[in-house]
Amino acid sequence: MSHTGRTTEPAKRTLRRDLLAARNALSTDDVREAAGALARRALELPELTRARTVAAYVSVGAEPGTLPLLDALRARDVRVLLPALLPDNNLDWGAYGGEGSLARVQHGGRMALFEPAGERLGPDAVTSADVVLLPGVAVDTRGMRLGRGGGSYDRVLARLERAGAGPALVVLLYDSEVVRHVPEEPHDRPVQAVVTPSGVRRFTEGGRAVPGA
Protein backbone atom coordinates (compact mmCIF):
# COMPACT_ATOMS: atom_id res chain seq x y z
CA MET A 1 0.00 0.00 0.00
CA SER A 2 1.19 3.52 -0.77
CA HIS A 3 2.04 6.09 1.88
CA THR A 4 -1.20 7.85 0.94
CA GLY A 5 -3.15 4.66 1.58
CA ARG A 6 -1.55 4.21 5.01
CA THR A 7 -2.42 7.75 6.05
CA THR A 8 -6.02 7.65 4.81
CA GLU A 9 -6.98 4.27 6.25
CA PRO A 10 -7.35 5.39 9.92
CA ALA A 11 -9.56 8.28 8.80
CA LYS A 12 -11.64 5.90 6.70
CA ARG A 13 -12.02 3.50 9.61
CA THR A 14 -13.19 6.28 11.95
CA LEU A 15 -15.73 7.66 9.46
CA ARG A 16 -16.97 4.16 8.64
CA ARG A 17 -17.38 3.26 12.33
CA ASP A 18 -19.37 6.42 13.11
CA LEU A 19 -21.69 6.07 10.12
CA LEU A 20 -22.33 2.37 10.71
CA ALA A 21 -23.20 3.12 14.34
CA ALA A 22 -25.81 5.61 13.13
CA ARG A 23 -27.21 3.02 10.71
CA ASN A 24 -27.46 0.41 13.41
CA ALA A 25 -29.53 2.80 15.53
CA LEU A 26 -32.29 2.86 12.88
CA SER A 27 -35.51 1.01 13.61
CA THR A 28 -36.90 -1.71 11.35
CA ASP A 29 -39.67 0.70 10.31
CA ASP A 30 -37.10 3.38 9.44
CA VAL A 31 -35.20 0.93 7.22
CA ARG A 32 -38.37 -0.32 5.51
CA GLU A 33 -39.73 3.17 4.80
CA ALA A 34 -36.36 4.33 3.48
CA ALA A 35 -36.17 1.30 1.15
CA GLY A 36 -39.46 2.22 -0.51
CA ALA A 37 -38.42 5.85 -0.95
CA LEU A 38 -35.01 4.80 -2.25
CA ALA A 39 -36.60 2.58 -4.89
CA ARG A 40 -38.92 5.36 -6.07
CA ARG A 41 -36.04 7.81 -6.38
CA ALA A 42 -33.74 5.33 -8.13
CA LEU A 43 -36.39 4.38 -10.67
CA GLU A 44 -36.47 8.02 -11.79
CA LEU A 45 -32.86 7.79 -12.95
CA PRO A 46 -32.65 7.94 -16.76
CA GLU A 47 -29.76 5.48 -16.61
CA LEU A 48 -32.01 2.90 -14.97
CA THR A 49 -34.90 3.69 -17.32
CA ARG A 50 -32.66 2.85 -20.29
CA ALA A 51 -30.79 -0.06 -18.72
CA ARG A 52 -31.24 -3.63 -19.92
CA THR A 53 -28.80 -5.13 -17.40
CA VAL A 54 -28.16 -3.79 -13.88
CA ALA A 55 -25.59 -5.16 -11.44
CA ALA A 56 -26.96 -4.67 -7.93
CA TYR A 57 -26.83 -6.35 -4.51
CA VAL A 58 -29.12 -7.49 -1.72
CA SER A 59 -29.00 -5.23 1.32
CA VAL A 60 -28.45 -6.77 4.74
CA GLY A 61 -29.10 -5.50 8.25
CA ALA A 62 -29.62 -1.74 8.39
CA GLU A 63 -28.14 -1.07 4.94
CA PRO A 64 -30.34 1.09 2.69
CA GLY A 65 -32.85 -1.49 1.48
CA THR A 66 -32.60 -2.73 -2.10
CA LEU A 67 -35.25 -5.46 -2.48
CA PRO A 68 -38.10 -3.12 -3.53
CA LEU A 69 -35.80 -1.69 -6.21
CA LEU A 70 -34.65 -5.13 -7.40
CA ASP A 71 -38.25 -6.29 -7.75
CA ALA A 72 -39.27 -3.11 -9.58
CA LEU A 73 -36.39 -3.49 -12.04
CA ARG A 74 -37.31 -7.13 -12.63
CA ALA A 75 -40.93 -6.09 -13.26
CA ARG A 76 -39.57 -3.83 -16.02
CA ASP A 77 -37.88 -6.89 -17.58
CA VAL A 78 -34.45 -5.59 -16.63
CA ARG A 79 -31.84 -8.33 -16.16
CA VAL A 80 -30.57 -7.92 -12.59
CA LEU A 81 -27.20 -9.43 -11.63
CA LEU A 82 -26.38 -10.06 -7.98
CA PRO A 83 -22.97 -10.81 -6.43
CA ALA A 84 -21.75 -13.94 -4.71
CA LEU A 85 -18.71 -13.48 -2.50
CA LEU A 86 -15.72 -15.70 -3.36
CA PRO A 87 -13.09 -16.83 -0.83
CA ASP A 88 -10.58 -14.24 -2.09
CA ASN A 89 -13.15 -11.39 -1.66
CA ASN A 90 -13.72 -11.25 -5.42
CA LEU A 91 -17.32 -11.36 -6.66
CA ASP A 92 -19.02 -13.87 -8.91
CA TRP A 93 -22.46 -13.01 -10.30
CA GLY A 94 -25.84 -14.66 -10.84
CA ALA A 95 -29.22 -13.54 -12.16
CA TYR A 96 -31.97 -12.39 -9.78
CA GLY A 97 -35.19 -14.35 -10.21
CA GLY A 98 -37.20 -12.90 -7.34
CA GLU A 99 -36.81 -13.15 -3.58
CA GLY A 100 -37.26 -16.92 -3.73
CA SER A 101 -34.12 -17.20 -5.89
CA LEU A 102 -31.87 -16.04 -3.03
CA ALA A 103 -29.86 -18.18 -0.64
CA ARG A 104 -28.63 -17.03 2.77
CA VAL A 105 -24.88 -17.67 2.86
CA GLN A 106 -22.69 -17.38 5.94
CA HIS A 107 -19.13 -16.31 5.16
CA GLY A 108 -17.04 -17.19 8.20
CA GLY A 109 -17.66 -14.84 11.09
CA ARG A 110 -19.06 -12.09 8.90
CA MET A 111 -22.68 -11.11 8.51
CA ALA A 112 -24.66 -13.58 6.38
CA LEU A 113 -25.30 -12.42 2.82
CA PHE A 114 -28.18 -13.14 0.45
CA GLU A 115 -26.78 -14.41 -2.83
CA PRO A 116 -28.25 -15.80 -6.05
CA ALA A 117 -28.87 -19.51 -5.67
CA GLY A 118 -28.78 -20.35 -9.37
CA GLU A 119 -26.12 -20.54 -12.07
CA ARG A 120 -22.87 -18.65 -11.55
CA LEU A 121 -21.97 -16.44 -14.50
CA GLY A 122 -18.36 -15.63 -13.59
CA PRO A 123 -16.68 -12.47 -12.28
CA ASP A 124 -16.63 -10.92 -15.77
CA ALA A 125 -20.45 -10.94 -16.01
CA VAL A 126 -20.50 -7.51 -14.38
CA THR A 127 -18.87 -6.01 -17.48
CA SER A 128 -22.19 -6.48 -19.34
CA ALA A 129 -24.06 -4.13 -16.96
CA ASP A 130 -25.38 -0.76 -18.12
CA VAL A 131 -25.58 0.40 -14.49
CA VAL A 132 -23.71 -0.84 -11.42
CA LEU A 133 -25.42 -0.11 -8.10
CA LEU A 134 -22.73 0.06 -5.43
CA PRO A 135 -23.08 -0.45 -1.70
CA GLY A 136 -21.31 2.06 0.47
CA VAL A 137 -21.20 3.84 3.79
CA ALA A 138 -20.74 7.41 2.53
CA VAL A 139 -20.12 9.55 -0.52
CA ASP A 140 -18.71 13.05 -0.58
CA THR A 141 -19.45 16.12 -2.65
CA ARG A 142 -17.00 14.98 -5.35
CA GLY A 143 -18.60 11.56 -5.72
CA MET A 144 -15.88 9.68 -3.83
CA ARG A 145 -17.39 6.59 -2.16
CA LEU A 146 -16.50 5.03 1.18
CA GLY A 147 -17.11 1.27 1.09
CA ARG A 148 -17.34 -1.32 3.84
CA GLY A 149 -13.60 -1.97 3.69
CA GLY A 150 -13.52 -5.47 2.22
CA GLY A 151 -12.19 -4.41 -1.18
CA SER A 152 -14.64 -6.48 -3.24
CA TYR A 153 -16.01 -3.52 -5.15
CA ASP A 154 -12.55 -2.05 -5.70
CA ARG A 155 -11.93 -5.27 -7.64
CA VAL A 156 -15.17 -4.86 -9.54
CA LEU A 157 -14.28 -1.31 -10.55
CA ALA A 158 -10.79 -2.39 -11.62
CA ARG A 159 -12.34 -5.22 -13.68
CA LEU A 160 -14.68 -2.77 -15.42
CA GLU A 161 -11.77 -0.47 -16.19
CA ARG A 162 -9.63 -3.30 -17.62
CA ALA A 163 -12.53 -4.41 -19.81
CA GLY A 164 -13.10 -0.90 -21.14
CA ALA A 165 -16.66 -1.06 -19.79
CA GLY A 166 -18.32 2.21 -18.86
CA PRO A 167 -21.49 1.53 -16.88
CA ALA A 168 -23.06 4.27 -14.81
CA LEU A 169 -21.84 3.93 -11.21
CA VAL A 170 -24.49 4.76 -8.62
CA VAL A 171 -24.26 4.41 -4.83
CA LEU A 172 -27.33 3.92 -2.61
CA LEU A 173 -27.22 5.66 0.79
CA TYR A 174 -29.20 7.38 3.52
CA ASP A 175 -29.41 11.17 3.38
CA SER A 176 -27.05 11.65 6.33
CA GLU A 177 -24.35 9.63 4.56
CA VAL A 178 -23.67 12.30 1.93
CA VAL A 179 -20.74 14.01 3.65
CA ARG A 180 -18.32 16.83 2.94
CA HIS A 181 -15.20 14.71 2.45
CA VAL A 182 -14.25 11.03 2.14
CA PRO A 183 -10.53 10.20 2.45
CA GLU A 184 -9.35 8.72 -0.84
CA GLU A 185 -6.57 6.51 -2.15
CA PRO A 186 -5.01 6.65 -5.63
CA HIS A 187 -7.11 3.73 -6.90
CA ASP A 188 -10.45 5.22 -5.77
CA ARG A 189 -12.83 6.34 -8.51
CA PRO A 190 -15.85 8.65 -8.18
CA VAL A 191 -19.41 7.54 -8.82
CA GLN A 192 -21.69 9.40 -11.20
CA ALA A 193 -24.62 9.70 -8.77
CA VAL A 194 -25.89 8.94 -5.30
CA VAL A 195 -29.50 8.01 -4.60
CA THR A 196 -30.94 8.65 -1.12
CA PRO A 197 -34.54 8.46 0.11
CA SER A 198 -34.93 12.20 -0.49
CA GLY A 199 -33.50 12.40 -3.99
CA VAL A 200 -30.68 12.04 -6.48
CA ARG A 201 -27.42 13.95 -6.52
CA ARG A 202 -25.15 13.82 -9.55
CA PHE A 203 -21.45 14.52 -9.88
CA THR A 204 -19.56 15.90 -12.87
CA GLU A 205 -16.41 14.33 -14.25
CA GLY A 206 -14.40 16.97 -12.44
CA GLY A 207 -15.92 16.07 -9.11
CA ARG A 208 -18.16 19.13 -8.76
CA ALA A 209 -21.62 18.25 -7.53
CA VAL A 210 -24.56 19.20 -9.74
CA PRO A 211 -28.28 19.10 -8.96
CA GLY A 212 -29.96 15.75 -9.41
CA ALA A 213 -33.15 14.82 -11.18
pLDDT over 70 (residue 7) = no
Task: Say what the pTM is.
Answer: 0.90
Residues in the chain: 213
pLDDT in tens, 105-133: 988 777 789 999 999 999 999 999 999 99
Q: Tell me what percent of the residues of the chain surpass a pLDDT of 70.
A: 91
Residue 91 is labelled as binding a ligand? no
Assign residue 78 a region (left: φ > 0; alpha: ψ between -120 and 50; beta: otherwise).
beta
Residue 171 is labelled as binding a ligand? no
Could you give all domains of the chain from N- to C-terminal order, each with its CATH number?
Answer: 3-204 (3.40.50.10420)
Give the chain's mean pLDDT: 89
User: Looking at this protein, which amino acid is placed at residue 52?
Assistant: R
Q: What is 17-46 written as a DSSP string?
A: HHHHHHHHTS-HHHHHHHHHHHHHHHTT-H
Contact criterion met (CB below 8 Å) for 43 and 65: no
Residue 96 is labelled as binding a ligand? no
Point out the least confidently predicted range of 54-68, 79-93, 163-177, 182-196: 182-196
Residue 15 is labelled as binding a ligand? yes
Residue 65 is labelled as binding a ligand? no
Angle at 186 between CA 113 and CA 46, to 5 degrees: 60
Handedness of CA 180, 183, 184, 188 (dihedral sign): negative
Residue 149 is labelled as binding a ligand? yes
- What pLDDT was estimated at residue 209? 45
- What pLDDT was estimated at residue 1? 39
Residue 201 is labelled as binding a ligand? no
- What pLDDT was estimated at residue 6? 56
Per-residue pLDDT band for 37 (boundaries 50, 70, 90) equals: very high
